[in-house]
Structure 1
Amino acid sequence: MASDEKKLHIAMFPWLAFGHMIPYLELAKLIASKGHRISFISTPRNVDRLPKLPPTLASLIDFVKLPLPHVEYLPDNAEATIDVPLNLVPFLKKAYDALQDSMTLFLEDSRPDWLLYDFAPYWLPAIARNLGIPSAFFSIFTAACLGFLGTKAQMGERKSPEDYTVPPPWAPFPTTVSFRLFEVLKIFDQGVTGVEEEVSDIYRFGEVLQGCDVVAVRSCMEFEPEWLSLLEDLNRKPVLPVGQLPTTAYDSEDDTDSWRWMKAWFDRQSKRSVVYVAFGSEAKPSQTELSEIALGLEQSELPFFWVLRTRKGPADTEVIELPEGFEERTKERGIVCTSWAPQLKILAHESVGGFLTHSGWSSVVESLQFERPLILLTFYADQGLNAKVLDEKKIGYLIPRNEQDGSFTWDSVAESLRLVTVEEEGKAYRDKAKEMKRLFGDRDSQNRYVDSFIDYLESRNPSTTSEG
């Protein structure tokens, strides 16, 4: 191992969502495993809820807890998107933006060799530049998602929701990647125009892309080479894929206890017969959507394991409920779990034959590393673009919906589940999932991407290139 003087100190600052913090932590673990030092910056409650580190890495990853400033309308103890309903997320962003001073003090004091940040802190590139700290926008979004958004100037060209329902005119290759109208309408006010004088997500993306020195993307050349190449052409700066970052779990005793009864149930099911249903920490179906999903599962006659979040934190007043009698009618072949469940262990179990998912990229990666075919039902944010990428490559099957309002029916849910999981016509999706395992589950390939990324960071850093 090289001497300590040659090792990097990298600071990481993800957005306050577990779908962002977990990939950041995976990258942190991979970089730390090469002997480099990480400062992982978030709020106290979020740090305490992150998965435990392997003992071998604990000394190399330092968790920096920055208290989240109080903001009006943001509930006490709400420090991540998992804690609040969608209408309160703008206040979480306002609190995150108020971390500007404490982030500046941390950077002045610690002087990391590199700073990696998410899409949200539009104010951070300028701070890093003023302090002479090289910075990278580490995107947990796919290259297709970033390529669809375009540059800061191109983002300003789209004025109406309909502008987001067609593929980007700057893509020099054929693609179907775009939002459906109901998907963009859900995010247009907050994401594009900004509400109540808030900073829009589009503005955040534009500033971060323009202000960083390097764009690091959770992706690989084997999966989306055309989009990675387009990103580099558009932004005129290095675009570095860091691999798909499949989640690695370090088991605690609590996890083992929770898993014991679940495993016993999965062990009783036939091989590749179970539909696993989970919509991540961000997505929550409406009451109507929940009812259609439930009746579709019932009608499919397939065994199922459903991890269901009925509310998003104490401030969520819209608690959703399963149709009356549903659990009683399906108890012989299905389980609804309203507590935490170990998704990696579930997807790894041989009885799982299909995954009904919101198309969040961490869930996609976890599913494909275990060869599980995908049935796609999007709810929010980048999920619509992810689903189009998967649909275009015939890796996932989109449940048919009304393009205007997003409505769908229980029979389309049932038909989609059966098609992908057991029927002959869906064999192509099952075969494609097997084929994708080598892209999404190959640890050697993942290591090569991280090695290449570190090589780049070292080559651009004076403290590691000069003689110690």
Structure 2
Amino acid sequence: MAGGEGDTKPLHIAMFPWLAFGHMLPFLRLAKIMARKGHRISFISTPRNIDRLPQLPPSLTSLISFVKLPLPPVDGLPPAAEATSDLEGHDVIYLKRAYDLLRQPLSGFLSNSRPDWILFDHAPFWLPAVARDLGIPTVFFSIFIASALAFTSPPADEEQEYRRTAEEIMVKPKWVPFESDIAWRYFEAEKIFSMILGDDLHPNEFYRFRQTLKGCDLIAVRSCRELESRWLDLLQEMHRKPVFPVGELPAPIEEIEGDGWRGTGVIKEWLDGQKRGSVVYVAFGSEATWSQEELIEIANGLELCGLPFFWVFRTQQSSDDSKLPEGFEERTKGRGVVWKEWAPQVKILGHDSVGGFLTHSGWSSVVEGLQFGRPLVLLICYNDQGLNAKFLQQNGVCYLVPRDERDGQFTRYSVANSLKMVVTGKEGATFRIKAMEMKELFGDTKKHDNYVYALLEYLEANISRNV
């Protein structure tokens, strides 16, 4: 990469996230920060995914272009399925197969458009080779925090993945030199291990991470030094290339202060009628799914806790035609709301009546909760959520709903007691205080934007202009 010192010409940056909204949305938030500095972004995904993304503010429509690459058909993949949220977990392998077939159309776009850099996700392990042939430098952007990335991905000199059983991902990896209890619990490991395995034709997740980290020119991580300094340093030692934290990507000020209720003013009216710090906000992201038994325990836990609650209940979060307990909504009417449509999460979390957040520990939800100082009660579903939760627990930032370590079962009583303790109990004061301390960090949008600006300065100084 040739230096471009003194060259202030705006960059053209391509972005290629994995086909999950928990990945696409952080990429889009990063794109907006970069575009506000005058850089041009080509955001690449499939047609249906792009159509489902939030609308851009008018000031950025000329700087962020959406590039639609049709997803190739694959046996086993429903025609309308273009994101992980469209599928059951065991069917995501078909989405990965289709995603890998985007290599050729993506190569064509990059060859024609010649961006200065491409930021990409962990899944397209083949992208660095494509970009290298075209002379385009690459940034692996990890939506996973530094500790989770270091846990998941072996160092550069580790030729083979030594962890071949679920039990081996329940302990600290051999390359982590300091004390840490960040690892998956037994029930999480059993669930995640079967999901990350590939097949005879397609690589598993460990392989994708390893090849991506080997092939990229530099690593950008959704993290900050105030939270994960030693993990960021470890990543740089492990992979022997620049590692840039890009901050936590909190919601921007205009999203917090603007009129973001978008036709859901009835939610605000209900929240306005509740006491300050009394409401439990319940949301498990766009992809978490619960069995009928688990769903009943969550609902009954909310009923038993006696606190006002607002539950964003997505139909895909219940499998096998799961239903809420009979009469649940009638019995909790007035005290609780089960909301079955889109809800403005940032606006709800920012409301003074919210006193706690029951969530799955997806990092975007964690950031939005702590941005407003809301204490976290975590009920893990799958993927990196268990690693996020252990990191937060290790730092005293959250409370995990107690559950059986072997099968992951939890009860209505563990849900109810956890919520009462964290939101109103004396024992929960430490979590409430810690959440307010975290608000100082996660709510400082200027601090986090400055991390992105530092990355941009490096990208501007290390490009080879394509003609």
Give the TM bin, normalised by the shorter chain. over 0.9
SS at match of 1:108: helix
CA deviation after TM superposition for structure 1 residue 5, in Å: 6.8
1:225 counterpart = 2:238: no
Tell me if the contact between 2:287 and 2:316 (Cα under 8 Å) persists in the aligned partners. Answer: no
Match of residue 335, structure 2, among 309, 333, 351: 333
CA deviation after TM superposition for structure 1 residue 447, in Å: 2.1
Alpha carbon RMSD of aligned pairs, Å? 2.0
SS at match of 1:302: coil
Structure 1 stretch displaced more, 227-236 or 151-160: 151-160
Gaps of 5+ in 1: none
Tell me if the contact between 2:370 and 2:443 (Cα under 8 Å) persists in the aligned partners. Answer: yes
SS at match of 2:421: helix
2:325 corresponds in structure 1 to 323
Q: Residue type matched to 1:283 in 2?
A: A
Aligned length: 459
SS at match of 1:56: helix
Structure-1 separation of matches of 2:442 and 2:93: 33
2:435 corresponds in structure 1 to 433
1:188 counterpart = 2:193: yes
SS at match of 2:219: strand
Structure-2 separation of matches of 1:319 and 1:206: 38
1:346 corresponds in structure 2 to 348
Tell me if the contact between 2:90 and 2:195 (Cα under 8 Å) persists in the aligned partners. Answer: no
2:309 corresponds in structure 1 to 304
2:390 corresponds in structure 1 to 388
Report matched runs for 1:397-436 at 5 Å.
Answer: 397-436=399-438
Structure 1 stretch displaced more, 47-56 or 380-389: 47-56
Tell me if the contact between 1:357 and 1:374 (Cα under 8 Å) persists in the aligned partners. Answer: yes
Deviation track 1:385-440 (CA, whole Å, cap 9, x = no partner) reads 00001101111101111111101111111110011111111111111111111221
CA deviation after TM superposition for structure 1 residue 270, in Å: 0.5
SS at match of 1:405: coil
Structure 1 stretch displaced more, 150-159 or 326-335: 150-159
**TM-score, normalised relative to structure 1:** 0.94
Tell me if the contact between 2:261 and 2:347 (Cα under 8 Å) persists in the aligned partners. Answer: no
Gaps of 5+ in 2: none
Tell me if the contact between 2:89 and 2:195 (Cα under 8 Å) persists in the aligned partners. Answer: no
Tell me if the contact between 1:155 and 1:206 (Cα under 8 Å) persists in the aligned partners. Answer: no
**TM-score, normalised relative to structure 2:** 0.95
Structure-1 separation of matches of 2:391 and 2:113: 40
Percent sequence identity is: 56
SS at match of 2:346: helix
Q: Residue type matched to 1:127 in 2?
A: V
1:244 corresponds in structure 2 to 248
Deviation track 1:277-312 (CA, whole Å, cap 9, x = no partner) reads 110011111111111111111110011000112226
SS at match of 1:41: strand
1:199 counterpart = 2:178: no
2:169 corresponds in structure 1 to 164
Deviation track 1:124-169 (CA, whole Å, cap 9, x = no partner) reads 1111111111001000000000111232627601111001111223
1:271 counterpart = 2:276: yes
SS at match of 1:190: helix
Tell me if the contact between 2:144 and 2:222 (Cα under 8 Å) persists in the aligned partners. Answer: yes
Structure-2 separation of matches of 1:317 and 1:344: 27
Tell me if the contact between 2:8 and 2:460 (Cα under 8 Å) persists in the aligned partners. Answer: no
SS at match of 2:58: coil
1:235 corresponds in structure 2 to 239
CA deviation after TM superposition for structure 1 residue 86, in Å: 1.3
SS at match of 1:240: strand
SS at match of 1:354: strand
Structure-2 separation of matches of 1:257 and 1:166: 45
Distance 1:254-1:271 versus aligned 2 partners, 3 A rule: closer
Structure-1 separation of matches of 2:330 and 2:7: 61
Match of residue 137, structure 1, among 140, 161, 169: 140
Structure 1 stretch displaced more, 330-339 or 218-227: 330-339
Q: Residue type matched to 1:362 in 2?
A: S
Deviation track 1:312-352 (CA, whole Å, cap 9, x = no partner) reads 6xxx9722211111111111300111111110111001000
Distance 1:155-1:435 versus aligned 2 partners, 3 A rule: farther
Structure-1 separation of matches of 2:143 and 2:20: 11
Q: Residue type matched to 2:339 in 1?
A: C
Tell me if the contact between 2:312 and 2:338 (Cα under 8 Å) persists in the aligned partners. Answer: yes
Deviation track 1:234-261 (CA, whole Å, cap 9, x = no partner) reads 011111000100134759x996453211
Distance 1:5-1:230 versus aligned 2 partners, 3 A rule: closer
CA deviation after TM superposition for structure 1 residue 75, in Å: 1.3
CA deviation after TM superposition for structure 1 residue 3, in Å: 11
